[in-house]
C-alpha cells in the first residue's frame, strides 16, 4: 500500500513546487514591470491631463499633491491637452477636498478656470479614474495622460484600462523606495487576479 502512495506524494509535492515557483515568478515579473512603468512619459497629445489626488491640509496641498499639480501645469503649458482633471475627495472633518485644492492651485499657476474639471468625491485610485472616465465620457473624450508619482504608474495604466480610459502616464520626479515598490507590486498582482474595482473595496 505504501508503495502505491509514494508516487502520489511525489506528484503532490511536484505540483506544490510548481505552484510556488509560478507564484514567485509572477511576483518577480510584476515587480519588474512596476519599475519599468515608473520610467514612462507622455508621447503626443491627449484629451485631458488627470491629476491623481493626494493629501491636503485645509486647502494646503501636501508636497506630493503640489508636485503633481505643478507637473500637470507644465504639461498643459506644453500643449499636451486642453483640459486638466483634478481628483480626490476628503477625509472626515476636512473643510475642503483634494480636487478643490487642486483647482485652486492650478488657478494660482495660471490655468484658466474653463480648462479645469473637478472630481471631488473619490476616496481611492479606482474611484478617481472611474469618476474621471464618466466626466470625460459626457464630453466624448477618453484619451488621457495621468499624473502621479512614479511608483504608481503601472497600477494607473491597468485601472485606467479597466474603467475605459485610453491612458498614458507621466510621473513627477518624486523619489520612492522599497516600501512603495512592495506595496505596488502587491496591489497590481492582486488587482490582476480579482479585478481592481474589487480590490478598491467594491462588490
pTM of the model: 0.84
Bigger pLDDT: 28 vs 117: 117
Bigger pLDDT: 195 vs 46: 46
Kindly indicate the confidence band of residue 121, based on its pLDDT and cuts at 50, 70 and 90: very high
Q: What digits encode the pLDDT tens for the residues 65-116?
A: 999 999 999 999 999 999 999 999 988 878 899 999 999 999 999 999 999 9
Kindly indicate the confidence band of residue 11, based on its pLDDT and cuts at 50, 70 and 90: low
The mean per-residue pLDDT over the stretch 158-181 comes to 90
Domains, the chain, ordered by start: 48-176 (3.40.50.620)
The full DSSP string for the chain is: -HHHHHHHHHHHHHHHHHHHHHHHHHHHHHHHHHHHHTT----S--SEEEEPP--EETTEEPHHHHHHHHHHHHHHHTTS-S-EEE-----TT-SS-HHHHHHHHHHHTT--GGGEEE-----SHHHHHHHHHHHHHTTT--EEEEE--GGGHHHHHHHHHHHT-EEEE--------HHHHHHHHHHHHHHHHH-HHHHTT--
Bigger pLDDT: 2 vs 199: 199
Amino acid at each position: 500500500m505504501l508503495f502505491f502512495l509514494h508516487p502520489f506524494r511525489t506528484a503532490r509535492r511536484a505540483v506544490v513546487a510548481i505552484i510556488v515557483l509560478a507564484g514567485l515568478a509572477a511576483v518577480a515579473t510584476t515587480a519588474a514591470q512596476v519599475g519599468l512603468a515608473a520610467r514612462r512619459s507622455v508621447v503626443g497629445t491627449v484629451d485631458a491631463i488627470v491629476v491623481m489626488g493626494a493629501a491636503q491640509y485645509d486647502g494646503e496641498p501636501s508636497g506630493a499633491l503640489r508636485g503633481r499639480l505643478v507637473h500637470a501645469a507644465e504639461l498643459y503649458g506644453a500643449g499636451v491637452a486642453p483640459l486638466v482633471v483634478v481628483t480626490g475627495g476628503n477625509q472626515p472633518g476636512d473643510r475642503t477636498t483634494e480636487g478643490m485644492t487642486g483647482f485652486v492651485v492650478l488657478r494660482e499657476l495660471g490655468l484658466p478656470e474653463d480648462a479645469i474639471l473637478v472630481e471631488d468625491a473619490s476616496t481611492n485610485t479606482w474611484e478617481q479614474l472611474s469618476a474621471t472616465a464618466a466626466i470625460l465620457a459626457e464630453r466624448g473624450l477618453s484619451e488621457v495622460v495621468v499624473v502621479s508619482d512614479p511608483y504608481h504608474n503601472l497600477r494607473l495604466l491597468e485601472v485606467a484600462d479597466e474603467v475605459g480610459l485610453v491612458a498614458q502616464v507621466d510621473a513627477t520626479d518624486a523619489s520612492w523606495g522599497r516600501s512603495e515598490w512592495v506595496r505596488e507590486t502587491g496591489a497590481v498582482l492582486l488587482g490582476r487576479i480579482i479585478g481592481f474595482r474589487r480590490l478598491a473595496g467594491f462588490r
